[in-house]
Chain A
Amino acid sequence: MSEILKVTDAVKVFGSGSVATRALDGLSFSVEKGEFVAVMGPSGSGKSTLLNVISTIEPLTGGKIIVDGVPVSAIGERELADFRRDKLGFVFQDYNLLDTLTVEENIALPLNLKKVSASETKERVLRVSEALGVADQLAKFPSALSGGQRQRVACARAVIASPALILADEPTGALDSRSSKALMEQFCLMNRELGASILMVTHDAAVASYAQRVIFLRDGKIYDEIFRGDKEQKQFRHDILAVTETLGGGEEGAF
């Protein structure tokens, strides 16, 4: 497998002088193509900052990030949008669906931006929406959908342009446990059937247990890293909880 994401000595400093905060402090890791990786850590550990620097919303202070062979820091301002459009897909906690667009238009938006033909767009929207179970919702507006349905639409939008990497920021944060479980199954489906590489930030051990690998951050550095391997999901969740207990000072749910 080839590396789809390579983070090397990533440093991100907010502020300067005595008020400087190192959100990322020499962080290094990589994600293989087709891998599903979860990132966990307490508040202030650098999870969101990591997603922001990968997605080019925040510039790096030091170090290097390579996405699908492209060094992020070398991309000019003009090419950044193309980079995000072609290489990245986003799934956010609050869905970030455009409420003025229909479900179909929301899903098709990345293809519209790439100027894909109308017929091909239609075909791909249908295929992805069927895979994610929202094909019968295409004509509706997001306000008419449940939270789980909205997040599945967000997933469809993230995956439709076949990006190199899907970044998910607390995707189950606004969902109940049933919807969370359903969504994670969709993530696995995207990963398995559609070959999507996923980097997901979460604070929920149950959610993280769907990933193949979990990276734990603390104070901008990797604290620990565990692989699922052939373990049952339940066992993997226990492993994750065990790490979070030590990471959060011994209390479950310290994040």
Chain B
Amino acid sequence: MLLFKIAFRNVRRQIGGYLIYFFTVALTVSLLFSLAGLMFSKVVFAFSASFKLETALVCAFLALVLAVVSAWVLGYGCAFLLRRRKKEFGMYLTLGMKRSNIVAIFVCEMLFTFLFSLAAGLGLGMLVYQAIAAGVSAFLEADIVWADYTAGAFLLTIVLVGAIFLITAAVSAGYLRFEKIANLLKGKNTKGKTVKRPHGWLVVSIISFVVLVVSVLVVAVTAAGRPGGSDYVFTIVGGGALTLIAIIFTYVGALKSMIPYLLQNKAFAGRGTRTFTLRQLSDRIGADSVLFGVIAVLLSVVVAGGNIFLTIFGTQVAQSKIDNPYTVSVKAAYDATGQLTADLSAWMEEFGEAEAVRQYTVFEVRDPALDQYLLGSSWLLRESDYYALCEMAGEQAGDLEGGALLVCNGASLKELEETVQDAEELIGNFKWETERFSVTFEGVSPTHKCLAVFGFSYLLAVPDAVVDAVEEGRLYAAAQTLCAVNYAGGAFDEEAMDEFFRQKNEEDAYLNFPNAYGSFFNVSVAGSFLPTLRELATPWLLIVLFVTLAFALLSMAILALKSLAAVSEDRRRYKQLYLVGASAKKTIASLITQIALYFFLPFILPILMNVPVAFICMGLNDMMGGSLTNLQVVGYAVMFTAILLLFYVVYCAVTCIVARADVKRGLHTPGI
């Protein structure tokens, strides 16, 4: 009971020192709970109804990854606590306390902190879980859902966290049980050392950096090109792997050579506390250079993976919107009787009151002299329909000025611009066609997305009178019953409409109206593409989200705990620096500089990786139709990095606050 009391008092007294450990455990628990919540959630799983098994497998895999990462982080946290306290435990031993008592005290302390963190983590996890569910819904452009709490999620989290606690407690107990008293009593016996062969490491760093740049360029150029064959995959995968290896060696080389060079420059290093700061960093960073490289790799993977996912998903969503400029778009077969047109109108009304409806026709003009041979330049659209369709899509129409305008959708215009020779040829065709209709060619229209849904890349918008004047026998309706509908308020059951028209297409009554696509009519419901995209994207989104969080947490927690463990051992040095004449402000500034550099050095390359990754994403975007602007692609990269950076800054700030309090207390404590 006495030991229990001592343990409880110890935790209460050293709450400041335990803060970062508590913070880390609580965050880890909250992430585990969020993932467990998603695994058991019926609501969130509704996003991936067709991929339930795949999503469940993804979640299970992620839970395993997160559990391993958590065990690592919490094990690290435990080692951090031990390093802070081992001198005290050594003292207990010299006072005659039994090792079993010390083990009991430490395990009790850990248990208190763990239970407290578990409770806080579960509380935080309930919020994080809802935030993730809401974030996932918002990202997938679905209605925000309130995720359901399940007993399974609580149970799984407690079991996982409990298992991790038992493992870490057993390892710590083993250490305390068998470590020599002398080793417990003395802090880490740091021996200053100079880095051997800094020139060699500099060469390693330069070569690795060159390899890094070349491999990134190769991957970027390959990704920007069109995919083709196994060489493409091999280059991307091989180049990516080489990039990651090069990152590690760049870090190891740079970190081992940079500080010795700075220290050699006495004019730079011999100012204020710089020598002290650099030596402290040299000591830590030199030993952790491989760790820094690995953390940089993890963060680079997170940055690259996150950006590529956002680009692919964003491209898909943007492309779907381009393909569906109206709430509902219909392309139906030839309808001489008017029955199909009447039926379509009636069905549309069943789903709501249409705000705007436009029925129009795209004409195909055939030249008898060329028989059935059609040119891409032979599609005509009435000027009145062109203006009306642009207005409904909220797009700026070009001015025909009584002549003809070459109307292109977004992707086609891009193709025109990219291949000048084709563009000249195409425009030549259109000019030739225009002359046949006796109108002036007025040029190319602004980029339009409103035509994409019907599969036309290029059209010639001409005055209505030109269409009416085409002689009988040359003019055919390419798609006779076309209509674009915008529903009032945009609110109707999109999925039900999609399903309704699917069924109608299979009814015998419309067998007389076949169109070129083999069905009677094609109905594109703008909102119906999202559920499909959601189903496809949900498992990937979860992977990106949790891998990002797990890697970021792992990196930040390790850096924070290592920093604080180092600070607790370095308090004596800060006191010495203070006594020699450095002000408290300068001493603390040196500490903050060390922590900030320690935190941000591994983050430099991942941030720089945004540049080539953004180029790769631009290439991907072009490859997938170029539906996003380059600014949007860069925006994704900036947004993703900014969020990651924000978490990083918060973690670094908390670490600095705890370390500052620790060192400042030490400056005024006699005998440290």
Contacts and interface: CB of A to CB of B under 8 A. Distances in A.
Contacts of B670: 48, 52, 57-58
Interface stretch (A65-73, A74-82, A129-137, A179-187): A74-82
Contacts of B577: 98, 109
Interface of A: 48, 52, 55, 57-58, 77-78, 80-82, 84-86, 88, 90, 96-102, 105, 108-115, 117-118, 121-122, 141-143, 157, 161
Interface stretch (B264-272, B294-302, B513-521): B264-272
Contacts of A105: 275, 279
A100 B576 CA distance: 12
A112 B579 contact: no
B581 interface: yes
11 contacts: A55-B579, A81-B581, A81-B586, A86-B581, A96-B579, A100-B190, A101-B279, A105-B279, A109-B577, A118-B267, A143-B189
B584 interface: yes
Contact of B579 (A77, A84, A100, A122): A84
A88 B273 CA distance: 18
A85 B583 CA distance: 9
Q: Which 9 A-B residue pairings sit nearest by Cβ, starting from the closest?
A: A85-B581, A81-B583, A141-B192, A118-B266, A143-B191, A100-B279, A100-B192, A118-B267, A96-B576
B283 interface: yes
Contacts of B272: 112-113, 115
Contacts of B282: 100
Contacts of A141: 191-193
B280 interface: yes
A98 B267 contact: no
A174 to B, nearest CB: 15
B366 interface: no
Interface in B630-672: 668, 670
How extensive is the interface on chain B, given as a class?
A: 20 to 34
Contacts of A117: 267
B50 to A, nearest CB: 60
Interface in B570-587: 573, 576-586
B546 interface: no
B580 A90 contact: yes
A28 to B, nearest CB: 24
A114 to B, nearest CB: 8
B190 A99 contact: yes
Interface string B570-614: 000100111111111110000000000000000000000000000
Contacts of B191: 99, 141, 143
Contacts of B586: 81, 113
Contacts of B274: 112
A105 B276 CA distance: 8
Contacts of B581: 81-82, 84-86, 88, 110, 113-114, 161
A178 B182 CA distance: 28
Given A81-B586, A100-B283, A105-B275, A113 B192 contact: no
A86 B473 CA distance: 105
Contacts of A157: 580
Contacts of A113: 272-273, 580-582, 586
A157 B192 CA distance: 18
A110 B580 contact: yes
A80 B668 CA distance: 13
A55 B577 CA distance: 14
A108 B190 contact: no
A112 B279 CA distance: 14
A48 B583 CA distance: 22
B573 A100 contact: yes
Given A81-B583, A82-B583, A118-B270, A98 B193 contact: no
Nearest to A121: B270
B584 A81 contact: yes
B263 to A, nearest CB: 8
A78 B581 CA distance: 12
Nearest to A161: B581
Q: Which of A78, A84, A88, A100 has the most CB of B within 10 A?
A: A100
A109 B275 contact: yes
Given A141-B191, A143-B191, A112 B275 contact: yes
B273 A112 contact: yes
Contacts of A85: 580-582
Nearest to A108: B270
Contacts of A96: 576, 579
Contacts of B190: 99-100
Of A48, A55, A96, A101, most buried by chain B (CB within 10 Å of CB) is: A101
B189 to A, nearest CB: 8
A249 to B, nearest CB: 27
Nearest to B576: A96
Contacts of B275: 101, 105, 108-109, 112
Nearest to A139: B194
A96 B672 CA distance: 10
Which one of A113, A114, A117, A143 has the highest number of Cβ atoms from chain B below 10 Å of its Cβ?
Answer: A113
